[in-house]
């Protein structure tokens, strides 16, 4: 089953926990995943689960790479229509269409080890030029519907949300909270503003890199001094010696590493 209840909520005021795992797929494709025993989430299965617990508070655990954007919209709407508080807890990941589902909750909580990612919708197409243009137009409109869901939750401007999607933005719990995609962090003992872990991590990593580069630079300086001393003692050309060639290669690698550390970015 793509959805199941962790608690048999026999008491009227008892919370119900549901789980979304695996691909988010259309109802028409659900049988394929069921046949192979692959976890998947479908709108009808989710609506049926909610119908059994009308009026009760619901906790939806999410751990999904995403999937069909229209199937995600169906689950999003079902959560919005539920007559009770809906809390989304991001267990490991809420990526792509799964992040849209999370936006339907009254409260979004993320594990400190979880990730949330938003990006532009994509598709494949075949045919002549007008077919490609039509597909591009459809994707633009689909993006607008996704922006609607993100803006309703975050109150960010549409332009900023669009830029975040263009850049395929991956967010830790703290980043998601800062931008309004999440409301809190699970298991947290310290308020986010009191412990800027992300900034501290970035600073520490930079300090380590700089320390290594400084040590290498001191080594090169000592090497150059030694070479100068040797050249003064033995007046012969040493610039093209194998040792100097190896040192030049090392210097080039360190220089390249410095550039990557400063300008590198993660891409899928």
pLDDT digits (tens, 9 = 90+) for 70-112: 999 999 999 999 999 999 999 999 999 999 999 999 999 999 9
Positions in the chain short of pLDDT 70:
1-13, 190-268
Could you give the angle at which helices 158-166 and 129-154 cross, rounded to 10 degrees? 120
Residues 122, 242, single domain; the answer is no
Residues 135, 179, single domain; the answer is yes
Q: Tell me, what's the pLDDT at 66?
A: 96
Q: Tell me, what's the pLDDT at 152?
A: 97
Residues 170, 237, single domain; the answer is no
Q: What is the pTM of this model?
A: 0.68
Q: Tell me, what's the pLDDT at 13?
A: 63
Residues 21, 54, single domain; the answer is yes
> What do you get for the CA distance between the two ends of the chain, in Å?
31
7 and 17 Cβ atoms separated by less than 8 Å: yes
Quick: pLDDT tens for 51-77.
Answer: 999 999 999 999 999 999 999 999 999
Q: Tell me, what's the pLDDT at 221?
A: 64
Q: Last residue of a domain, which of 192, 217, 237?
A: 192
Residues 175, 225, single domain; the answer is no
Rounded-to-integer distance, Cα 248 and Cα 154, Å = 51
Cα–Cα–Cα angle for 49, 55, 60, rounded to 5 degrees: 45
Counted domains in the chain: 2
- Write out the residue range of the structural domain in which residue 26 sits: 16-192
CATH number of the CATH domain containing 26? 3.90.226.10
């Amino acid at each position: 089953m793509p959805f199941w209840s962790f608690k048999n909520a026999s008491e009227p005021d008892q919370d119900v926990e549901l789980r979304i795992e695996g691909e988010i797929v259309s109802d028409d494709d659900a049988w394929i995943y069921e046949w192979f025993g692959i976890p998947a989430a479908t709108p009808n299965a989710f609506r049926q689960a909610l119908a059994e617990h009308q009026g009760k508070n619901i906790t939806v655990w999410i751990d999904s790479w995403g999937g069909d954007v229209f199937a995600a919209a169906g689950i999003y709407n079902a959560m919005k229509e539920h007559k009770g508080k809906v809390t989304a807890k991001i267990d490991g990941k809420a990526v792509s269409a799964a992040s849209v589902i999370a936006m339907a909750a009254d409260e979004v909580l993320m594990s400190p080890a979880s990730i949330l990612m938003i990006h532009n919708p994509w598709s494949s197409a075949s045919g002549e030029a007008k077919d490609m243009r039509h597909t591009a137009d459809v994707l633009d409109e689909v993006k607008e519907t996704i922006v609607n869901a993100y803006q309703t939750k975050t109150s960010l401007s549409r332009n900023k949300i669009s830029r975040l999607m263009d850049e395929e933005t991956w967010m830790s719990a703290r980043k998601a909270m800062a931008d309004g995609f999440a409301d809190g962090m699970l298991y947290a003992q310290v308020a986010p503003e009191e412990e800027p872990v992300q900034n501290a991590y970035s600073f520490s990593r930079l300090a380590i890199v700089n320390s290594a580069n400084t040590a290498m630079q001191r080594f090169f300086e000592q090497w150059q001094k030694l070479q100068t001393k040797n050249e003064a003692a033995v007046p012969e050309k040493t610039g093209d010696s194998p040792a100097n060639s190896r040192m030049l290669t090392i210097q080039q690698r360190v220089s390249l590493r410095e550039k990557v550390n400063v300008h590198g970015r993660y891409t899928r």
